[in-house]
C-alpha cells in the first residue's frame, strides 16, 4: 500500500520498485515512522525508569538512529516531501537536534566544585563527562570573593549573590556577581551557585622541621546539615574527626535572616588518643609539630556544566517549531476553520 | 485564604456551574441560549481572575505552586480558551456538553484542595516561568477544545445524543477541526518544552535531567506526534482519531495534575 502512495507521489506510477530502491522505500515508509515513534516512546520510558543516567541513555540510540534513517530515506525517495519546504525544514531541524544531542552527549561535562571565600577555584569534583570531552578546564581561574544569602522564616532560601573575580581572555581582571539564574561562564564552562554551601575551618600546621602549611577542613553543607557539622581529616597520617560547634540558632528559622559566619564558636578535634577543643587563634602542641586553628571561613558549592551544543540546539529547536507552525499555517489556510459549519 | 478571595471564588464557581448546566441542558433540549452560556462563562472567568489576582497580590506570587493554585489557574485558562472557541466557532458550541463536565471535575477537585500558601522558590523568579506556564496552558486548552469535538464523535458512535448533536458538523469535519487544535497543541507544547529547558538550564544548571515532570511532558509530546502522524499515515476513521485525542489528553492531564504532586524533584507544580 505504501509503495502505491509513494509511487503516486513521485509520479512514477504504481510499478513495484526493485533493488536498493525497494529497500529505500521501505525505510522511507510513514508506517516505519510510526513504529519508530513507538520504539522511541518505549526507550524514553526505559531510560526514565533507570534514572536517566549513564548507560541507560544508550537505549535512545536505536530509535533515534532508526528515525534518522527513516527521515533521510524519505527525503531521498519522496519528491512530494521535498517539495513541502516547511515540512522539510521541520524534519531537517529534528535531524539536526538528534545529531547535536548525540554530539553533546559525547563532549559534555557535569561536575561540582567547592571554593573557599577568598580562595581560588582549584579543581572539579564528581566529574561526569562524555568520552570526547577535551575542554580547557585546566586553564580556568577564578576567585570567590564572598556570598550573601537571605532566608525567610522556615529557613526558606532567597536570593544568592556571589561575587567572583576572574581574568578574561586578555588577562584583564573582571568582577561579576553570579547566583540563582546567572552563571559564571569561562571558556564554555558554566558555574552555577548551588544550594550547597557552608563553613570551613582554617588550620596552620607548623612541623618541628620544615615549612608551615595552611590548610582547610570543609564541613558539610549548612544549614542543611546544621545538626551534624562533622568531617574526617587526615593530619600527619592520623585520622582526626573534626566537629564545628555553632550557636543553636545561627540562622533564625522564625524570622528573616541571612547566612553569616558565627561570632562565637569552637571546633573539637577527636584524635585517636585525645579529644581537644580549639577556639580561633589557639595552638595545640602535637607529636611532630604545632597545630593552630586560624579561624572559620565559608565555602560556596557550584554546579558546573559544559555543553557547546546548547546555542545550536536552541537554534535548531526554534527553527523546528517555526517550520512546523509555517507548515500548519499553509495547510490550514487552504480551507477556512469555519468551513462546513452547520453540516450534520 | 482571605475571606474576600474565597467569596469571589465561590461566586465564580456558581457562574461556571450555571454556564455549564445551561449549556448541557441546552444541548439536551436543543435550545441553547448561547449568549447566556458565554456570558456566564466569561463572568466566571472574570471573577476567578479577580480572586486569583487578590491572592497573587497578597502572597506576592502567581498561582503556580500548590495544587489549589494550579487547578484554579487551569480552570481559568481552560474556560478562557474554550470561551474563545465557543465564541469564534459557533458550529462547535454543542461540544460544551463534553467540555463543561471536565471543567466541573476540576472545579470540584479545586474546592476540595487546601488553599494554604506554598513556598515560592527563588528559581521560579524568572520571566521564563510566565512563558513556560503560559505555553503549557495554551497547550492544554487547545487539546481540551479538541477533546470536546472528539467526545461528540465518540458519543454519536455510541448512539448517545445523536439527534441532540445534530446541529454540529459531521464526524469527518469535527475530526478535521479537532486535529487542527491538536496541531496548535503540538506547537504550544514544543515551545513549552523549549522554554522549560531554557529555564531549567538557568535554574538548575542543566537543560534536561530526566526529571519526572519534564520526562512525562516529553512522553505526552511523543504521543501527540504519534497521533498526528497516525492520522496522516493511516487515514483512519474519526472514531479512531477521537480515541487518540482522548488518550493524549488523559496523558497530558495526568502529567500536569498528577506527576508534580507525587514526585520529589525541584521541578514541582509550575504548570
pLDDT confidence tier of residue A183, bands split at 50, 70 and 90: very high
Give the rounded distance of the alpha carbon of A248 from its chain centre: 35
| Burial class for A189, CB neighbours closer than 10 Å (0-12, 13-18, 19+) | buried
- In this structure, the answer to whether residues B204 and B250 fall within a common structural domain is yes
Per-residue pLDDT reduced to its tens digit, B41-53: 999 999 999 999 9
Are residues A70 and A122 located together in one domain of the fold? no
In-domain check, residue A344? no
Q: How far apart are CA B20 and CA B24, in angstroms?
A: 6
**Confidence (pLDDT) at A14:** 54
Please tell me which of the candidates B177, B218, B234 has its beta carbon nearest to residue A44. B218
Instruction: Give the pLDDT score at A1.
Output: 37
CA dist., res. B118 & res. B64, Å (int): 9
Measured between beta carbons, which residues in chain A are less than 8 angstroms from residue B89?
Answer: 337-338, 341
pLDDT tens digit sequence for B55-71:
999 999 999 988 899 99
Confidence of residue B174 (pLDDT cuts 50, 70, 90): very high
Per-residue confidence (pLDDT) for residue A5, from 0 to 100 = 45
According to the model, what pLDDT value does residue A238 have? Answer: 85
Query: Given the C-alpha cell 469535519, which residue does it identify?
Result: B173
Q: B 46-85 residues with CB below 8 A of A?
A: none
**Helix (DSSP H) and strand (DSSP E) numbers for chain B:** 9, 0
Instruction: Return d(Cα A175, Cα A161) in angstroms, integer.
Output: 13
Grid cell in block for residue A342:
452547520
Are A122 and A193 part of one and the same domain? yes
Cβ distance A181 to B91 less than 8 Å, yes or no, reads: no
The tally of domains found in chain A comes to 2
B110 assigned to some structural domain = no
The pLDDT mean for chain A works out to 89
Q: Is B167 helix (H, G, I), strand (E, B) or coil?
A: coil
A111, closest residue in chain B (CA to CA): B205
* A191-219 average pLDDT score: 93
pLDDT digits (tens, 9 = 90+) for A48-57: 999 887 788 8
Are residue A64 and residue A159 in the same domain, yes or no? no
If you measure CA to CA, which chain A residue comes closest to B234? A31
Q: Which of A9-13, A56-60, A113-117, A248-252 has the highest mean pLDDT?
A: A113-117
pLDDT score of B271:
36
B7 part of contact set with chain A, CB < 8 Å: no
pLDDT at B1 (0 to 100): 63
- Given a cut of 70, whether residue A7 has pLDDT beyond it is no
Q: Is A206 exposed, middle or buried (0-12, 13-18, 19+ CB in 10 A)?
A: middle
Task: State the Cα–Cα distance between residues A106 and A260, nearest whole angstrom.
Answer: 41
Q: What is the pLDDT of residue B263?
A: 63
Is the pLDDT at A13 greater than 80, yes or no? no
Q: Do A41 and B226 touch (CB under 8 A)?
A: yes
How big, in percent rounded to 5, are the helix, strand and coil portions of chain B? 80, 0, 20
Give A9's pLDDT tier (boundaries 50, 70, 90). Answer: very low
**Do both B92 and B185 map to the same domain?**
no
Amino acid A180: pLDDT: 83
Task: Say what the pLDDT of residue A322 is.
Answer: 97
Residue A16: is its pLDDT beyond 70? no
Quick one: what percent of chain A has pLDDT higher than 70? Answer: 92
User: How far is Cα A132 from Cα B196, in angstroms, rounded to an integer?
Assistant: 27
Residues of B in contact with A305 (CB under 8 A): 201, 205-206
Contact B96, B24 (CB under 8 A): yes
Is residue B20 over pLDDT 90?
yes
Mean pLDDT, residues A78-103: 93
Domain count, chain B: 2
Verify that A235 and A322 share a domain, yes or no.
no
Q: Which of B100, B132, B152 is the last residue of a domain?
A: B100
B242 located within any domain: yes
In a domain, A340, yes or no: no
Say what the pLDDT of residue A15 is.
63
Report yes or no on A271 lying in a domain. yes
Give contacts of A304 with chain B, Cβ < 8 Å.
205
Q: What is the C-alpha to C-alpha distance for residues A320 and A92, in angstroms, rounded to an integer? A: 8
Q: What is the gyration radius of the CA atoms in chain B, in angstroms?
A: 19
Confidence of residue A134 (pLDDT cuts 50, 70, 90): confident
Residue A34 is predicted with a pLDDT of: 96
Give the rounded distance of the alpha carbon of A51 from its chain centre: 15
What's the confidence (pLDDT) of residue A285?
A: 92
| CA closest to B207 among chain A residues | A310
Do B189 and B142 belong to one domain?
Answer: yes
A151, β-bridge pairs:
A157, A257
**Residues of the domain holding A301:** 110-305
Q: Closest chain A residue to B87 measured between Cα atoms?
A: A338
Query: Looking at the domain assignment, is residue A343 inside a domain?
Result: no
| Separation of alpha carbons B138 and A343, rounded Å | 28
| pLDDT of A340 | 52
- Asked if B95 and B145 sit in the same domain, the reply is no
Decide if pLDDT at B201 tops 50.
yes
Distances (CA, A) of A189 to A109, A110, A129, A137, A138: 9, 9, 12, 8, 11
Report the alpha-carbon angle A95-A99-A101, nearest 5: 115
- Of the candidates B205, B210, B225, the beta carbon closest to that of A37 is on B225
pLDDT, one tens digit per residue, over B26-42 is 998 888 789 999 999 99
Residues A216 and A326 in one domain: no
Mean pLDDT of A58-78: 93
Both A212 and A264 in one domain: the answer is: yes
Query: Do both B130 and B96 map to the same domain?
Result: no
Q: Does position B113 have pLDDT exceeding 70, yes or no?
A: yes
pLDDT for A2 equals: 39
Average pLDDT over residues A292-315: 96
Averaged pLDDT, B90-109: 94
In a domain, A341, yes or no: no
pLDDT of A321 higher than 60: yes
Examine the domain organization and report whether A69 and A114 are in the same domain.
no
| Identity of the residue in A34, A303, A320 whose CB atom sits nearest the CB atom of B226 | A34
The yes-or-no verdict on residue B246 having pLDDT over 50 is yes
Cα–Cα distance list, A301 to A139, A233, B142, B175, B246 (Å): 19, 19, 43, 54, 46
d(CA A183, CA A187): 13
Is A192 exposed, middle or buried (CB count within 10 Å of its CB: 0-12, 13-18, 19+)? buried
Contact B168, B95 (CB under 8 A): yes
Q: Looking at the domain assignment, is residue A338 inside a domain?
A: no
**Closest CA–CA distance from residue B71 to any residue of chain A (Å):** 25
| Full domain range(s) for residue B10 | 1-100
Same domain, A133 and A218: yes
User: What pLDDT score does A181 carry?
Assistant: 87
Judge whether residue B134 has pLDDT over 50. Answer: yes
Residue A264 buriedness (CB in 10 A; 0-12 / 13-18 / 19+): exposed
Domain assignment present for residue A342? The answer is no
| pLDDT over threshold 60, residue B265 | no
Q: Are residues A64 and A140 in the same domain?
A: no
To the nearest whole number, what is the mean pLDDT of chain B?
Answer: 92
B143 with B229, same domain: the answer is: yes
pLDDT of residue B269: 42
Same-domain check for residues A118 and A252: yes
**Pair A213, A81 in one domain:** no
Q: Minimal Cα–Cα distance from A42 to chain B, Å?
A: 9
pLDDT exceeds 80 at position A138: no
Q: Taking residues B242-270, report their average pLDDT.
A: 80
- Confidence at residue A56, expressed as pLDDT on a 0 to 100 scale: 85
Q: Is residue B113 part of a domain?
A: no
Residue of A nearest to B195 (CA): A314
Share above pLDDT 90 across residues of chain A, in percent, rounded to a whole number: 67
More confident residue, B96 or A12: B96
Share of chain B above pLDDT 90, in %: 76
CB-based contact A47 B210, cutoff 8 Å: yes
Q: Say yes or no: A171 and A289 in one domain.
A: yes
A289 phi-psi bin (left φ>0, alpha ψ -120 to 50, beta other): left
Q: Rounded CA gap, B246 and B146, in Å?
A: 9
pLDDT in tens, A184-204: 999 899 999 999 999 999 999
Amino acid at each position: 500500500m505504501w509503495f502505491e502512495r509513494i509511487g503516486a507521489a513521485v509520479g512514477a506510477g504504481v510499478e513495484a520498485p526493485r533493488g536498493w530502491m525497494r529497500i529505500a522505500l521501505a525505510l522511507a515508509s510513514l508506517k516505519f515512522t510510526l513504529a519508530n515513534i513507538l520504539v522511541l516512546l518505549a526507550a524514553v520510558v526505559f531510560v526514565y525508569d533507570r534514572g536517566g543516567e549513564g548507560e541507560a541513555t544508550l537505549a535512545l540510540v536505536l530509535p533515534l538512529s532508526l528515525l534518522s534513517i527513516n527521515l533521510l530515506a524519505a527525503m531521498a525517495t519522496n519528491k512530494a516531501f521535498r517539495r513541502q519546504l516547511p515540512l522539510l525544514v521541520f524534519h531537517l531541524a529534528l535531524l539536526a537536534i538528534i545529531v547535536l544531542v548525540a554530539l553533546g552527549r559525547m563532549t559534555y561535562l557535569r561536575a561540582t566544585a567547592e571554593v573557599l571565600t577568598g580562595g581560588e577555584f582549584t579543581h572539579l569534583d564528581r566529574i561526569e563527562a562524555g568520552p570526547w570531552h577535551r575542554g580547557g578546564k585546566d586553564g580556568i581561574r577564578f576567585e570567590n570573593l564572598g556570598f550573601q544569602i537571605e532566608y525567610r522564616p522556615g529557613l526558606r532560601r532567597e536570593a544568592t549573590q556571589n561575587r567572583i573575580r576572574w581574568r578574561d581572555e586578555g588577562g584583564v581582571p573582571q568582577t561579576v556577581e553570579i547566583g540563582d539564574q546567572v552563571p559564571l561562564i569561562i571558556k564554555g564552562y558554566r558555574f552555577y551557585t548551588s544550594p550547597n554551601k557552608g563553613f570551613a575551618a582554617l588550620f596552620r600546621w607548623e612541623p618541628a622541621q620544615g615549612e608551615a602549611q595552611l590548610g582547610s577542613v570543609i564541613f558539610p553543607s549548612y544549614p542543611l546539615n546544621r545538626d551534624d557539622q562533622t568531617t574526617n581529616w587526615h593530619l600527619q597520617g592520623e585520622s582526626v574527626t573534626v566537629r564545628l560547634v555553632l550557636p543553636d540558632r545561627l540562622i533564625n528559622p522564625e524570622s528573616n535572616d541571612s547566612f553569616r559566619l558565627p561570632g562565637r564558636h569552637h571546633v573539637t578535634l577527636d584524635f585517636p588518643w585525645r579529644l581537644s577543643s580549639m577556639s580561633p587563634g589557639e595552638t595545640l602542641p602535637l607529636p611532630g609539630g604545632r597545630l593552630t586553628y586560624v579561624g572559620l571561613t565559608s565555602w560556596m558549592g557550584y554546579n558546573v556544566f559544559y555543553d557547546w551544543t546548547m546555542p545550536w540546539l536552541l537554534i535548531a529547536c526554534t527553527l523546528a517549531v517555526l517550520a512546523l507552525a509555517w507548515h500548519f499555517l499553509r495547510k490550514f489556510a487552504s480551507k477556512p476553520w469555519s468551513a462546513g459549519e452547520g453540516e450534520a | 485564604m482571605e475571606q474576600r478571595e474565597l467569596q469571589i471564588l465561590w461566586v465564580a464557581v456558581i457562574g461556571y456551574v450555571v454556564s455549564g448546566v445551561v449549556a448541557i441542558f441546552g444541548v439536551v433540549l436543543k435550545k441553547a441560549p448561547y449568549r447566556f452560556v458565554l456570558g456566564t462563562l466569561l463572568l466566571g472567568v472574570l471573577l476567578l481572575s479577580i480572586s486569583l489576582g487578590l491572592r497573587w497580590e497578597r502572597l506576592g506570587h502567581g498561582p503556580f505552586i500548590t495544587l489549589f493554585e494550579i487547578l484554579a489557574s487551569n480552570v481559568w485558562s481552560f474556560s478562557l480558551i474554550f470561551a474563545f472557541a465557543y465564541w469564534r466557532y459557533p458550529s462547535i458550541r454543542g461540544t460544551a456538553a463534553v467540555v463543561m463536565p471536565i471543567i466541573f471535575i476540576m472545579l470540584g477537585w479545586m474546592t476540595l484542595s487546601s488553599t494554604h500558601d506554598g513556598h515560592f522558590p527563588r528559581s521560579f523568579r524568572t520571566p521564563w516561568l510566565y512563558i513556560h506556564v503560559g505555553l503549557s496552558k495554551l497547550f492544554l486548552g487547545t487539546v481540551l477544545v479538541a477533546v470536546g469535538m472528539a467526545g461528540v464523535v465518540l458519543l454519536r458512535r455510541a448512539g448517545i445524543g445523536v439527534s441532540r448533536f445534530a446541529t454540529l458538523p459531521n464526524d469527518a469535519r469535527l475530526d478535521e477541526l479537532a486535529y487542527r487544535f491538536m496541531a496548535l497543541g503540538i506547537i504550544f507544547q514544543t515551545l513549552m518544552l523549549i522554554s522549560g529547558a531554557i529555564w531549567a538550564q538557568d535554574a538548575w544548571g542543566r537543560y534536561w535531567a530526566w526529571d519526572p515532570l519534564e520526562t512525562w511532558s516529553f512522553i505526552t509530546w511523543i504521543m501527540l506526534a504519534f497521533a498526528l502522524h497516525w492520522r496522516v499515515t493511516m487515514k483512519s476513521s474519526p472514531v479512531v482519531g477521537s480515541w487518540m485525542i482522548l488518550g493524549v489528553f488523559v496523558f497530558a492531564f495526568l502529567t500536569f495534575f498528577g506527576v508534580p504532586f507525587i514526585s520529589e524533584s525541584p521541578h514541582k507544580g509550575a504548570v
